[in-house]
Structure 1
Amino acid sequence: MIGILQNLADTIRRTFGSAGEEVAGFKQELAQRSGAALLRRKRTKVALLAILFGVVSSIIELPLPLEDLYRAARAELRSRPAPRDVVMIAIDDKTRAANQHNLPNRMQDTKVVDTLIASGVRRVVFDRAHADPETPKSDAMFADMLARHQGKVWLGVVPASDIGFQRVDEIAPLPEFRKTVNLAAMNGRANLFGLSVIFPTSIDLGGKKEGSISAVLAEYTGPTRLYRPDTAFDASTVPSFSYVDVLNGRVPAAELRGKNVVIGQAFFGSSDYYFLPFRPNTKVPGSYFHVLGAHTLKRGVPLDLMWYPAMLLAALAMAVQVVSRRRASNSLMITSFGLLIATFVFDEFTFNIDIMSALLAMGAAAIGFQRINRKYYSSDVDAMTTSAIASDRPSEERDVYALKIANLAEFSEEWTAREIGEFVNTLIAYVKGPGEVGDVAFERDLLVWLAPRMENGELERHADGLAMMLKTAISYDWQSSNSAPALGIDTNHDLPVASRIKKAMQAADEAANRGVRFIINDAAHLEARNNRLQLIKVLEKGLRDRDIGVAYQPKVDLASGRIVGAETLIRWQPEGEEPVNPQDLVLAAEAGDRINELTLVVMEKALLEGKQAIALDPRFKLAVNMSAKSLSDTHLLFDIMTLLGRFDFPPENLTLELTETAKLEDDRIAPQIAALKARGIGLSIDDFGTGQSNLEYIEKLPSSELKIDKRFVQHMATSEESRAVVRATIEIAHSLGKTVVAEGVEDLSVAAALTAMGCDQAQGYLFSRAIPMSELLVMMGGRRSAIYS
């Protein structure tokens, strides 16, 4: 089957395709003015603005709080015990209580350091500068201790710095202490909201490089770097001893031997406390961060790549989305998710990248892309809307096509959104198959595209072949025999493309409503539409004045020649105007949504005059045409019942001849059909064998009568196929207990053949044209049709 479709497509290309040079030129124009190019331009603008936003936000550290929060969250998930080679000697509340709530003095510090060194401690670092003098005796004792343990004791120092508009002076040990002691930088920087801390590995102090407390504890001697302590090390697991316990010799030497220690404040009233983001009820003394920093440096100095790699990846993801023909922002989502996961891996390998600016940039791009999608992509399937291919400029080289997908709403009730999308994308693939078509847009239940211009005759053959190919494809690939594609094609090349798209869509809707495969919206069609609009105005006046004329074409019993009924037909000549074509009037009424009003006006006159025929023959059946779609309108059926009551017209003498070209909905018409049958009103399927009036209609409309379309009847004399169709129809109808009426009988040989086949009734010019009721009454008075007289 696929091979058949491919052969059909190849035939269309060979028969109707443009010359190679014309196609190449058309493709070049499509590349410049296509919907894809429009989307690329707009997406590029969004991407550039998003990247600029991301870069500026990085420079001004706008997302820093988010960055710190996510870094803290990663650390919380990576939480692990701290190694035990760095010890905290805490000046805690226990120490202050034993010292009458005072900080330890230098005499006590001297004894503590001596005890620590005697226990085998490698290094002792004070998170305190000892910048203020005490008593001469205690200062001298402390200086002597520093000289005795030179190279093993470090005192804290903070260099002079500018914080905002404020100058902070240097904080350093007393000069007599600096002669023999090492210095360790105590300074660090807390980010906004205190969510993270940054330490240097060393500082420059008077031209001399001094290590930070964390670097001294880690015995780090590398280059100067700024880094963040890894808070994945659980501060609560850092080995800690109370200062007063060390002072009083209550800490076993084995707990201290071979370790580095830091002496710092840890009492409740200290200002040097910080909260961890995901442990709001846990206060961590600042000295502990130096310990965490030491463990961080031992693993390796974190390499801070800042925001550059993430922003580069974000830019690449946006570039992928810019050139993509699909609306889904998969590249942005994958990149965002990848960055969120990758940072966990980088943390383990002491790499740091800042990702929040990139995520903000991709978020801004996603919002911009989504706004573009809402305007230029269908909400139902992954296809562009007509806005993407519309232009305010004309195109003399292109025709505009619109394909109406019949019954798409019906499919939507049974199919998933994915199946609907696959169905539409399959049709798009068929439409683009020959290769001359550019972008195909989808809106509501219509596909729209532009293709190389063709001459009228060639265009008609191409449209007919394309419609047939699509119907075959739908029937085979999607097992749907009820979906008949309808094409609308606009050839008004001097109009803007945007306007022509609307006109092509209107033509496709009209083609679907009329049950034809295509309508070409050219100058002739526009003239016909204008005439129809004018006819709608005339119709509105006729409906308002209720002066629309009718006539009656007799139905003759073929066996006896007796007139058994008549079909009511419009025969109207407005005052001062030419006679109105009944078919054009019905189309105008449908286009103007006035078909039900027209039906009621015609029925009102028919019921009023038809009572005269019933007076002559109580078995006389009066037929009035009605659209089968109107069966779903309960208001119309109520009005019909009201008219029957007003004119005292027997319901069993009324037959509604139903015509339709579109598929009916069972659940909507079934109650109305039951109501009509309950009142004795007859139903007839008109024009059987055309449009949707087929065997399926017989099941959906349990009628009492079936009318064979005149096209089959009039070809009986010359076509064996038509005779076979008529014969089969009569047999099927009779097997279902239905009366068969043949339309368009114009000669005796056809009437004789119908009689021989067992056809029940006939109407046509052989018996009579549509005539006024007065003439019909005269014919009925003669009891037999004139042809049988």
Structure 2
Amino acid sequence: MLELLTGASEAERERLLVLEATKLVDSPATEDFDRITRLAAAMFNVPTALISFITHDRQWFKSKVGMEVPETERGAAFCDHAIRSSDVLVVEDAARDRRFKFNRLVCGQPGIRFYAGAPLITQSGHALGSLCIIDTEPRELSEQEASQLKDLAALVMVQIERTVSVGRVHEVTHLPNRAQLRSDLQDLAMAGDPGARALALVDVMSSSQVQSALLALGLPALERSVRVIGSRLGSLLGSDITVYHVSETRFAFMLSVGQQEEASTKLEWIMARMREPFRFDGVAFTLEARCGALMFDAKSDGRRDLLRMATSALVQAGAESAALRWYAADMDVPHRRAYALVKMLPESLENGEFRLVYQPKLDVAKRRFSGVEALLRWSHPVMGTISPAEFVPAIEKTAAIHQLTDWVLEAALAQTAEWQSQGLFITVAVNASAKNLEHPEFASKVREACDRHRVDPKWLHIECTENSVLTGSRTSDTLQEIEKLGVQISLDDFGVGYSNIACLNRLPVSLLKLDRSLVAPIATDFRAWTLAQSLIDFGHCLGYRMLAEGVEDAETYEMLVQAGCDAIQGYFVSRPIEATDLLPFLRAQIPARLLVS
């Protein structure tokens, strides 16, 4: 097909690719389409009604009433003119129309004199053909009749879209989709066709590229670019290889190859070509395309979840900023474990497998512990102790983070209320994720939880990272609402995220926490020490209190105190403490080692 389109315009090449992708040309007749042509012939009292598709060289009739031949050459097709407009093409007397009076279909059989055709236009704006009515006598078409013909054409398009997209064709490119790929893989397995193949999954744009293109070009242009990219990939692969459009920017295909080395050579060449600059709508693009691939044998491997395995390889390629990565079984381990952790969360919360421990924060000026940070712990009866560094990132990516944060908030406030009943009044910090802050009801949940446990909101701190507060405007609104309640807000991991200083002007933050990665090397790295001092001074100039976390030795502690850090948190000050042990710890005298003069 692509070779036949060399002389066509870009718009015509794209139209023909969309038509080809529908796989309707030369398909068997169906009652769904025939019913519409019969209705059209009866409504307009004409001998002939056609649903025609215009290919690169012919007019083929998907449905016909009163026409004996199944197709005509494109040069004789009235419908070739109809597809060039969005309106109905009306020819009242073809014998008097200079465009058609010498047409063989007018001069010979079937002797067309009257023609009216409504173009069949897809949602993407491509005219596939037309619904037309034909008579052997001249006649006129009223505005009402033209409107009725367009309505019938719309019904044809509904049927086309339904036929094309019965779970098997992507709506943007009209290429076979994920469901068709799975079906084809199953067919290969059932056929028992032995032989090595490579399944390749290509993501043609990074998420940042998609966002930039969407903002700069808009959705219709972005979809057009994806169609062009899909066509470009198909050209590189050749007409004998099927390209599948499996998600917004991901395409898949299979190569019949003997060895992985052979497939690597082919895929590396394709990825190099896909990364070459090209122009679209007058703008130069260089794709950040990546590929995940795996070798499989249809006879022995065809029933495995090959697409998931290719996706694992693609994710790994993204993580390593590599153009191509091959699947390895160990790639699945962290993904499957992360999925298992998320799935276990509701039951584990209900079974009491989670608990909070509390790490004290030392107020340097007051020489006392003024607050604690609530830290989550998970002890699973089978999997044992699960690190927060593992389960929190996995859960943060899902809606389950709301359930987990709700539990932490309730548990922390319940413990705060119990301590206050024993005469201990101390602030308790709870971590909130980006998804929490984006939730429109999060501030209300905080207020209701404080009311429920009868804890003044001033004893609650919400800690959030730089990255989380810069995800959208909703997060800033949420923080403003929380601050109005009297809750204090801390910016965690300061200095290692976006470090967008401008954001500090619009966020109701009172405390900045220097990340442990900035604090740890200051005793041995002069530049790190200079940076830490500068950040402390910077924070103070803007009116923030500064806390250093991850302090693990006396020298680091003393340097930070001398630098004017307001608060210290870390193992040198105190390890996280169980709730039952905190009161005796805080009531004990501050150790002399923490009383730096």
Q: TM-score, normalised by structure 2?
A: 0.61
Q: In the alignment, what sits opposite 2:26?
A: 47
Distance of 2:237 and 2:527 partners within structure 1: 39
Find the residue that maps to 1:572 and give its secondary structure: strand
- Does the Cα contact within 8 Å between 2:364 and 2:568 map onto a contact in 1? yes
Q: In the alignment, what sits opposite 2:136?
A: none
Find the residue that maps to 1:733 and give its secondary structure: helix
Matches within 5 A, 1:367-766: 374=165, 378-380=170-172, 385-387=177-179, 391-392=184-185, 393=188, 396-402=197-203, 405=207, 416-421=218-223, 424=226, 445-450=248-253, 489=292, 491=294, 493=296, 496=302, 499-501=305-307, 522-536=328-342, 538-558=344-364, 562-575=368-381, 578-590=384-396, 593-611=399-417, 620-659=426-465, 666-690=472-496, 694-695=500-501, 698=504, 701-717=507-523, 722-723=528-529, 726-766=532-572
Instruction: Report Cα offsets for 1:58-86 as digits up to 9, x if no partner.
Output: xxxx899647999xxxxxxxxxxxxxxxx
Distance of 1:764 and 1:420 partners within structure 2: 49
Q: In the alignment, what sits opposite 2:98?
A: 345
User: How many angstroms does 1:763 deviate by?
Assistant: 1.7
Does the C-alpha gap of structure 1 residues 486 and 619 become closer, same or farther in structure 2, counting only changes over 3 Å?
farther
Does the C-alpha gap of structure 1 residues 410 and 532 become closer, same or farther in structure 2, counting only changes over 3 Å?
same
Does the C-alpha gap of structure 1 residues 486 and 400 become closer, same or farther in structure 2, counting only changes over 3 Å?
closer
Distance of 2:567 and 2:589 partners within structure 1: 15
Does the C-alpha gap of structure 1 residues 744 and 380 become closer, same or farther in structure 2, counting only changes over 3 Å?
farther
Distance of 2:175 and 2:302 partners within structure 1: 22
User: How many angstroms does 1:651 deviate by?
Assistant: 0.9
User: How many angstroms does 1:703 deviate by?
Assistant: 1.8
May I ask how many residue pairs the two structures share in their alignment? 483
Matches within 5 A, 1:88-167: none
Instruction: Report Cα offsets for 1:249-272 as digits up to 9, x if no partner.
Output: xxxxxxxxxxxxxxxxxxxxxxxx
- Structure 2 letter corresponding to 1:397: A
Does the C-alpha gap of structure 1 residues 358 and 373 become closer, same or farther in structure 2, counting only changes over 3 Å?
farther
Instruction: Report Cα offsets for 1:558-599 as digits up to 9, x if no partner.
Output: 456532222111123245762222233324544663222222
Does the C-alpha gap of structure 1 residues 315 and 626 become closer, same or farther in structure 2, counting only changes over 3 Å?
farther
Instruction: Report Cα offsets for 1:333-385 as digits up to 9, x if no partner.
Output: 24999996986115656972556899799547996875575466544578764
- Does the Cα contact within 8 Å between 2:442 and 2:478 map onto a contact in 1? no
Mark the runs of 5 or more structure 2 residues left unpaired by the alignment: 1-14, 34-40, 51-66, 119-127, 133-155, 190-195
Find the residue that maps to 2:508 and give its secondary structure: coil
Does the C-alpha gap of structure 1 residues 428 and 558 become closer, same or farther in structure 2, counting only changes over 3 Å?
farther
Distance of 1:663 and 1:412 partners within structure 2: 23
Find the residue that maps to 1:398 and give its secondary structure: strand
Q: In the alignment, what sits opposite 2:582?
A: 776
Q: In the alignment, what sits opposite 2:73?
A: 312
- Structure 1 letter corresponding to 2:25: V
Distance of 1:435 and 1:787 partners within structure 2: 70
Instruction: Report Cα offsets for 1:628-687 as digits up to 9, x if no partner.
Output: 321233444433323312332221121111247568564433443232111111122222
Distance of 2:452 and 2:579 partners within structure 1: 20
Find the residue that maps to 1:644 and give its secondary structure: helix
- Aligned alpha-carbon RMSD (Å): 5.8
Instruction: Report Cα offsets for 1:734-762 as digits up to 9, x if no partner.
Output: 34322222222223333344345443323
Distance of 2:47 and 2:327 partners within structure 1: 60
Identity of paired residues, percent? Answer: 22
Instruction: Report Cα offsets for 1:471-504 as digits up to 9, x if no partner.
Output: xx9xxx799xxxx989794648465599444565
User: How many angstroms does 1:724 deviate by?
Assistant: 5.7
Find the residue that maps to 2:405 and give its secondary structure: helix
- Structure 2 letter corresponding to 1:311: T
Distance of 1:439 and 1:733 partners within structure 2: 58
- Does the Cα contact within 8 Å between 1:767 and 1:786 map onto a contact in 2? no
- Structure 1 letter corresponding to 2:201: V
- Does the Cα contact within 8 Å between 2:21 and 2:175 map onto a contact in 1? no
Instruction: Report Cα offsets for 1:706-748 as digits up to 9, x if no partner.
Output: 2232223324456566556544543443343222222222233
- Structure 1 letter corresponding to 2:74: L
Structure showing greater Rg: 1
- Does the Cα contact within 8 Å between 1:488 and 1:521 map onto a contact in 2? no
Distance of 1:439 and 1:656 partners within structure 2: 52
Does 371-380 or 335-344 show the bigger shift?
A: 335-344
Does the C-alpha gap of structure 1 residues 600 and 584 become closer, same or farther in structure 2, counting only changes over 3 Å?
same
Instruction: Report Cα offsets for 1:194-245 as digits up to 9, x if no partner.
Output: xxxxxxxxxxxxxxxxxxxxxxxxxxxxxxxxxxxxxxxxxxxxxxxxxxxx
Does the C-alpha gap of structure 1 residues 397 and 564 become closer, same or farther in structure 2, counting only changes over 3 Å?
same
- Does the Cα contact within 8 Å between 2:200 and 2:291 map onto a contact in 1? no
Instruction: Report Cα offsets for 1:386-439 as digits up to 9, x if no partner.
Output: 456553147742342446636968976885333333564687799999999987
Does the C-alpha gap of structure 1 residues 692 and 630 become closer, same or farther in structure 2, counting only changes over 3 Å?
farther
Does the C-alpha gap of structure 1 residues 372 and 699 become closer, same or farther in structure 2, counting only changes over 3 Å?
farther
Mark the runs of 5 or more structure 1 residues left unpaired by the alignment: 1-35, 55-61, 71-305, 319-329
- Does the Cα contact within 8 Å between 2:18 and 2:173 map onto a contact in 1? no
Does 358-367 or 523-532 show the bigger shift?
A: 358-367
User: How many angstroms does 1:775 deviate by?
Assistant: 3.5
Given the alignment of the two structures, is residue 333 of structure 1 paired with residue 83 of structure 2, yes or no? yes
Does the C-alpha gap of structure 1 residues 532 and 388 become closer, same or farther in structure 2, counting only changes over 3 Å?
closer
Does the C-alpha gap of structure 1 residues 666 and 541 become closer, same or farther in structure 2, counting only changes over 3 Å?
closer
Distance of 2:49 and 2:197 partners within structure 1: 60
Distance of 2:314 and 2:559 partners within structure 1: 41
Distance of 1:734 and 1:624 partners within structure 2: 24
- Does the Cα contact within 8 Å between 2:410 and 2:449 map onto a contact in 1? yes
Q: In the alignment, what sits opposite 1:138?
A: none
Does the C-alpha gap of structure 1 residues 478 and 42 become closer, same or farther in structure 2, counting only changes over 3 Å?
closer
- Does the Cα contact within 8 Å between 2:358 and 2:578 map onto a contact in 1? yes
Distance of 1:487 and 1:785 partners within structure 2: 56
Instruction: Report Cα offsets for 1:87-146 as digits up to 9, x if no partner.
Output: xxxxxxxxxxxxxxxxxxxxxxxxxxxxxxxxxxxxxxxxxxxxxxxxxxxxxxxxxxxx
Distance of 1:686 and 1:433 partners within structure 2: 50
User: How many angstroms does 1:774 deviate by?
Assistant: 3.8
User: How many angstroms does 1:551 deviate by?
Assistant: 0.8
User: How many angstroms does 1:624 deviate by?
Assistant: 0.9
- Does the Cα contact within 8 Å between 1:404 and 1:447 map onto a contact in 2? no
Distance of 1:502 and 1:700 partners within structure 2: 42
Q: TM-score, normalised by structure 1?
A: 0.48
Find the residue that maps to 1:765 and give its secondary structure: coil
